[in-house]
């Protein structure tokens, strides 16, 4: 493998899994120079970054609180990575079911892709994110964070909330994990779905 190919693989991997900031840019520049002096070491780094230590299929995990199941997570495939920071990748998405203290389901969340950061116990759900509560209210967005420690779900991305015949569009959203109490930070508008459907039928 040539030095240039090794460098490009490392840079691509870092940019995919990290937020772009000044530290990442400086570190990337350092890697470019390092590739010229020690390509074997750089190739080993690529393998460590790209190869999962554990691959699991058809996963079903339960999360508990005070000895009672609070969430159930399912996914067709799970990849666990170890390194500077351990994380778990869900390349084909996941589904999360939330339960109340009596064992009844009170919320549901799914996404096309997700990453779970083990150090701070957060899950970043990306692409086709759907959140639904016991009332039948639905939230749709492209990015959502589930914070297990804070028992909070939030995003700064564009969201669409469907409730009681209305579609509410806005940016910025915070909620408890059951999606029973939530705040929409910046509302852009409300569409009455019943009136819209009636107008289309006329």
The vertex-21 CA angle with 78 and 82, nearest 5°, equals 30
**Higher local confidence (pLDDT), 103 or 18:** 103
- pLDDT value of residue 198: 44
- pLDDT value of residue 65: 84
Q: In the chain, where are the structural domains located? A: 3-50, 54-195
Give the confidence band of 160 by pLDDT, cuts at 50, 70, 90: very high
The pairing of beta strand 87-90 with beta strand 182-192: unpaired
- pLDDT value of residue 36: 54
Q: Supply the CATH classification number for the domain 54-195.
A: 2.60.450.10
- pLDDT value of residue 83: 83
What integer is the mean pLDDT of 151-166? Answer: 94
């Amino acid at each position: 493998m040539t030095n240039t190919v090794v460098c490009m693989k490392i840079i691509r991997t870092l940019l995919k899994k990290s937020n772009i900031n000044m530290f990442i840019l400086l570190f990337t520049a350092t890697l470019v120079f390092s590739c010229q002096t020690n390509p074997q070491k750089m190739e080993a780094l690529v393998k460590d970054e790209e190869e999962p230590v554990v691959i699991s299929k058809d996963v079903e995990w339960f999360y508990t609180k005070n000895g009672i199941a609070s969430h159930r997570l399912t996914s067709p495939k799970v990849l666990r990575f170890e390194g500077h920071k351990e994380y778990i990748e869900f390349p084909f998405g996941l589904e999360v079911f939330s339960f109340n203290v009596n064992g009844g389901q009170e919320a549901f969340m799914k996404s096309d892709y997700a990453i779970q950061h083990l150090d701070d116990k957060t899950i970043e759900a990306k692409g086709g994110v759907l959140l639904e509560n016991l009332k039948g209210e639905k939230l749709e967005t492209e990015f959502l964070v589930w914070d297990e420690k804070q028992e909070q779900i939030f995003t700064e991305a564009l969201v669409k909330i469907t409730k009681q015949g209305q579609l509410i569009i806005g940016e910025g959203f915070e909620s408890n994990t059951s999606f029973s109490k939530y705040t929409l930070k910046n509302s852009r508008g409300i569409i009455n779905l019943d009136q819209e459907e009636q107008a289309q039928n006329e």
